[in-house]
């Protein structure tokens, strides 16, 4: 037997409940010949009659009586599926998942963008994923996260470098993501050197690169990604500096190391300098990190609207006299 057509089953149930082809047709918003034809087609498919028919009355056969409760249950389940699917579809239009690591929560660009978007599109919402970026980048590539605010570097690296299995607890590529992902850069910050405030470097506008010879400098760990770490280490070594690898290599940890050992440390420039250290630029150390809105490989419609809003918002910010408030009156 062929698969049963749902529209035939709906006509069967409607006629059974109304005890009339005419009233069933009105209920289904179909013509009476259409409903009669669907009943005939269903009976031919089943190989038995479902109704006793007279000129004035329609009643169920024994087979029809047995089949009706199961058909009704099936139609109810189909309606549940339809309603759930519609709710899920509406959610893709009005809600999205946004990655934004906990350490970016005080960044002005993040706050201002999300405030502007909420003001312009109050009917749309998002859920923030505040895990480490390495987890978010993997999910952006594997269609589990719609969009993210990432602090780092777009690198020409194959996506499978970010999705490969790594031992539990190991962090890789925390500030490095593939340049194949669509992005809009909100701000770029040059990397500098955190130096003790009582050192000779603290009084310099720019530290000459030849002054780095013999200087011990606490480095970020390799978990941040080769696109950031390797060029930095190569530059420091080429100028005779001594890169150090503290046991904990995140930005805050190397600040603490520099304070404790009265030495220098790499300063990414995205966090306020701690008391006792000042951030200085270094001649020739032309490296930077971006804060960017990065779109996943399969964003829903709401995420795409947020991304397009971010593009317009940033374009206005980059104008000499850009007025962000004009976005509030536009559809995103």
CB neighbours of residue 293 within 10 Å: 26
Q: What is the mean pLDDT of residues 213-234?
A: 95
Q: Return the CATH architecture of domain 96-188+290-329.
A: 3-Layer(aba) Sandwich (3.40)
Average pLDDT for the chain = 91
**What distance in Å separates the CA atoms of residue 266 and residue 289, rounded to the nearest whole number?**
13
**What distance in Å separates the CA atoms of residue 268 and residue 250, rounded to the nearest whole number?**
10
**What distance in Å separates the CA atoms of residue 82 and residue 60, rounded to the nearest whole number?**
28
Say if residue 213's pLDDT is above 90.
Answer: yes
Distances (CA, A) of 301 to 118, 215, 305, 317: 16, 51, 6, 24
**What distance in Å separates the CA atoms of residue 320 and residue 185, rounded to the nearest whole number?**
17
Q: What is the mean pLDDT of residues 2-20?
A: 88
Please spell the DSSP secondary structure of 65-93, one letter per residue. HHHHHHHHHHHHHHHHHHHHHHHHHHHHH
Q: What is the mean pLDDT of residues 307-328?
A: 81
Per-residue tokens: 249: 């290599």
**What's the topology of domain 6-92?**
Arc Repressor Mutant, subunit A (1.10.10)
Say if residue 331's pLDDT is above 60.
Answer: no
**What distance in Å separates the CA atoms of residue 82 and residue 78, rounded to the nearest whole number?**
6
Q: Return the CATH architecture of domain 192-286.
A: 3-Layer(aba) Sandwich (3.40)
Q: What is the mean pLDDT of residues 51-76?
A: 89
Q: Looking at residue 92, what is its pLDDT?
A: 62
Q: What is the mean pLDDT of residues 209-222?
A: 96
Say if residue 127's pLDDT is above 50.
Answer: yes
Say if residue 168's pLDDT is above 90.
Answer: no
């Amino acid at each position: 037997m062929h698969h049963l057509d749902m529209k035939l089953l709906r006509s069967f149930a409607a006629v059974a409940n109304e005890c009339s082809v005419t009233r069933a047709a009105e209920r289904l918003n179909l013509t009476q010949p259409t409903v009669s034809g669907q009943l005939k087609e269903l009976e031919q498919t089943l190989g038995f009659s479902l109704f006793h028919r007279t000129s004035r009355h329609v009643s169920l056969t024994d087979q029809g009586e047995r089949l009706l409760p199961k058909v009704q249950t099936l139609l109810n389940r189909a309606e549940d599926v339809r309603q759930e699917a519609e709710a899920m579809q509406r959610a893709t239009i009005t809600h999205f998942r946004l990655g934004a690591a906990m350490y970016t929560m005080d960044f002005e660009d993040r706050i201002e963008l999300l405030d502007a978007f909420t003001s312009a599109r109050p009917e749309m919402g998002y859920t923030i994923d505040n895990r480490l970026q390495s987890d978010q980048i993997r999910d952006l590539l594997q269609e589990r996260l719609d969009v993210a605010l990432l602090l780092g570097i777009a690198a020409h690296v194959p996506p499978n470098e970010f999705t490969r299995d790594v031992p539990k607890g190991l962090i890789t590529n925390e500030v490095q993501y593939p340049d194949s992902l669509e992005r809009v850069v909100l701000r770029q910050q040059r990397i500098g050197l955190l130096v003790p405030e009582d050192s000779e470097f603290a009084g310099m506008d720019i530290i000459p690169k030849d002054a780095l010879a013999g200087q011990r400098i606490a480095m970020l760990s390799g978990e941040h990604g080769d696109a950031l770490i390797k060029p930095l280490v190569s530059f420091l070594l080429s100028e005779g500096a001594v890169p150090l690898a503290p046991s904990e290599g995140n930005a805050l940890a190397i600040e603490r190391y520099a304070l404790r050992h009265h030495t220098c440390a790499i300063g990414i420039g995205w966090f306020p300098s701690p008391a006792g250290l000042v951030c200085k630029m270094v001649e020739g150390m032309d490296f930077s990190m971006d804060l960017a809105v990065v779109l996943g490989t399969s964003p829903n419609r709401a995420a795409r609207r947020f991304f397009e809003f971010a593009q317009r918002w940033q374009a206005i910010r980059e104008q000499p006299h850009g007025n962000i408030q004009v976005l509030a009156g536009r559809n995103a």
